Amino acid sequence: GAGVSQSPSNKVTEKGKDVELRCDPISGHTALYWYRQSLGQGLEFLIYFQGNSAPDKSGLPSDRFSAERTGGSVSTLTIQRTQQEDSAVYLCASSRDRGTYEQYFGPGTRLTVT
């Protein structure tokens, strides 16, 4: 497909386990963003990549959260030792380049920590 894809679509995990969420951006888009939406809330910024570099990690809520991007394409968001408050929909977006404002979102991964 031509859009942003994310996997898995749903993930249920036990408290204390690690999870990995994957994002495939639109082909050719150099900028990639992770956001999360907790129940009843707006979207909260987590981290931004330009190419493989992350110039803005200011939104990561704790050191249990990390992300990487390889080959200027796929990105993985890792949450270690998950907590119940990590339950949310994790959304990935991509943008054509650093000079573009419009971001295009994937369908999200719904994470439930039990």
Distance, CA of 33 to CA of 93 (rounded, Å): 5
Instruction: Identify which of residues 26 and 79 has a Cβ nearer to other proteins in the complex.
Output: 26
Residue 48 contacts other proteins per CB under 8 A: yes
Query: Residue 99 in 3-state DSSP?
Result: coil
Residues forming beta bridges with residue 13, ordered by sequence position: 113
Q: Dihedral of CA 66/4/74/52: which sign?
A: negative
Does the footprint of other proteins cover residue 98 (CB under 8 A)? yes
Task: Answer yes or no whether residue 49 interacts with other proteins by CB under 8 A.
Answer: no
Is 68 a residue that touches other proteins (CB under 8 A)?
Answer: no
59 binds other proteins (CB under 8 A): yes
Tell me phi and psi for residue 4, to 5 degrees: -75, 135
**Residues engaged in binding other proteins (CB under 8 A):** 4, 31, 33, 35, 41-45, 48, 50, 56, 59, 91, 93, 95, 97-108
